[in-house]
């Protein structure tokens, strides 16, 4: 089945530093998504990417959909303590009967004040 390889698995950074994480896939997705999960909560959508090469920002977050449609990265600039959580990439092939998301294993982010 389709799998997403997400790296790094975890990151320990100092407040104010920039963060970068990425995801690769052996197969193509129509849509790439980045989610954040905080303890005791479900994943919350941060950014959705719909077109190959698309670069999208949401505040201090920036994500890009790779040209090959098989990869994506997420950057967080000037990290703050509330950025702590697990970040998941996910792929979606919308249309037809599919609606299930394929997730990476997550990147656990720890931010030291």
Partner 1 sequence: EAGVTQFPSHSVIEKGQTVTLRCDPISGHDNLYWYRRVMGKEIKFLLHFVKESKQDESGMPNNRFLAERTGGTYSTLKVQPAELEDSGVYFCASSARQGSLDGYTFGSGTRLTVV
- Which residues in this chain contact partner 1 in the complex, by CB under 8 A? 4, 6, 31, 33, 40-45, 48, 88, 90, 92-106
For the CB of residue 70, give the shortest distance to partner 1 in the complex, in Å: 17
Distances (CA, A) of 38 to 45, 56, 84, 94, 110: 12, 22, 7, 26, 12
Considering beta carbons, is residue 36 or 79 the nearer one to partner 1? 36
Considering beta carbons, is residue 48 or 52 the nearer one to partner 1? 48
Considering beta carbons, is residue 45 or 78 the nearer one to partner 1? 45
For the CB of residue 97, give the shortest distance to partner 1 in the complex, in Å: 6
For the CB of residue 76, give the shortest distance to partner 1 in the complex, in Å: 20
Considering beta carbons, is residue 79 or 91 the nearer one to partner 1? 91
């Amino acid at each position: 089945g389709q799998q997403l390889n997400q790296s790094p698995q975890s990151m320990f950074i100092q407040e104010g530093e920039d963060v970068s994480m990425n995801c690769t896939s052996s197969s193509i997705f129509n849509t790439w998504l980045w989610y954040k999960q905080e303890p005791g909560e479900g994943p919350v959508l941060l950014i959705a990417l719909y077109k190959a090469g698309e670069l999208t920002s949401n505040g201090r977050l920036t994500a890009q959909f790779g040209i090959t449609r098989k990869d994506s990265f997420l950057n967080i600039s000037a990290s703050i303590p509330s950025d702590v959580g697990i970040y998941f990439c996910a792929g979606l092939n919308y249309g037809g009967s599919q609606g299930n998301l394929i997730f990476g294993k997550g990147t656990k982010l720890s931010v030291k004040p």
